[in-house]
């Protein structure tokens, strides 16, 4: 069984299916790029000069390439936030640990230290629980309201996301005791 961490080449049938799906998705984008560049309606793209059509397709692939890079970085950061090492990220991408560190320098979370957030007269504690979505928080607002420990919505992929939710809670419960 092939795991996400193997770098084996996909069977040709999967590559053909992928290429078809990508080309189908690319067609409207290429037509849009061509329409912006030439002023012609998108449905006239394939009747245009072949060089212009080819350059529009190339421009569309650039947009796709940039989006794939962005989504790849998000996937690497997500895996890192769940505890994946650079070694495992590299194995999944078919590169070395050093290559993964260079490609996604902010993907792997270092030491996961607990911290506190003091806002709006209240305080929240941020902790790593070591489970999927492992950043959790609990807090007490300035009005004395306590967050309920153990709620599923208090578990987040990143410390920043947990802090944002804790901050919203503290803001909501600011005020006199």
Give 96's contacts (C-beta < 8 A, 6+ positions apart). 90
Q: How far, CA to CA in Å, does 31 sit from each of 2, 22, 58, 140?
A: 37, 14, 11, 54
Mean pLDDT of 92-114: 87
State yes or no: pLDDT of 149 exceeds 60: no
Q: How confident is the model at residue 1 (pLDDT cuts 50, 70, 90)?
A: very low
Predicted structure pTM score: 0.55
Mean pLDDT of 138-157: 74
* Least confident range of 56-70, 82-96, 116-130, 146-160: 146-160
Please state, rounded to an integer, the average pLDDT across all residues of the chain. Answer: 83
Three-class DSSP labels, the chain: CCCCCCCCCCCHHHHHHHHHHHHHHHHHHHHHHHHHHHCCCHHHHHHCCHHHHHHHHHHHHHHHHHHHHHHHHHHHHHHHHCCCCHHHHHHHHCCCHHHHHHHCCCCCCCCCCCEEEEECCEEEEEEECCCCCCEEEEEECCCCCECCCCCHHHEECCHHHHHHHHHHHHHHCCCCC
* Least confident range of 11-20, 76-85, 93-102: 76-85
Nearest to 126 by CA among 86, 170, 85, 84: 170
Residues listed for the chain: 177
């Amino acid at each position: 069984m092939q795991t996400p961490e193997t770098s084996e080449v996909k069977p040709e049938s999967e590559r053909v299916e992928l290429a078809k799906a990508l080309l189908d998705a690319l067609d409207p984008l290429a037509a849009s790029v061509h329409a912006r560049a030439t002023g012609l309606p998108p449905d006239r793209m394939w009747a245009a000069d072949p060089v212009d059509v080819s350059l529009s397709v190339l421009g569309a692939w650039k947009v796709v390439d940039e989006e794939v890079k962005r989504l790849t970085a998000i996937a690497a950061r997500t895996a890192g936030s769940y505890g994946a090492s650079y070694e495992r990220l590299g194995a999944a991408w078919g590169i070395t640990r050093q290559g993964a560190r260079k490609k996604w320098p902010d993907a792997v979370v270092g030491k996961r230290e607990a911290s506190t957030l003091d806002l709006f007269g209240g305080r929240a504690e941020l902790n790593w629980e070591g489970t999927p979505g492992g950043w959790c928080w609990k807090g007490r607002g300035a009005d004395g309201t306590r967050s309920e420990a153990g709620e599923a919505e208090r578990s987040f992929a990143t410390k920043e996301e947990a802090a944002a939710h804790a901050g919203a809670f503290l803001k909501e419960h600011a005020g006199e005791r």
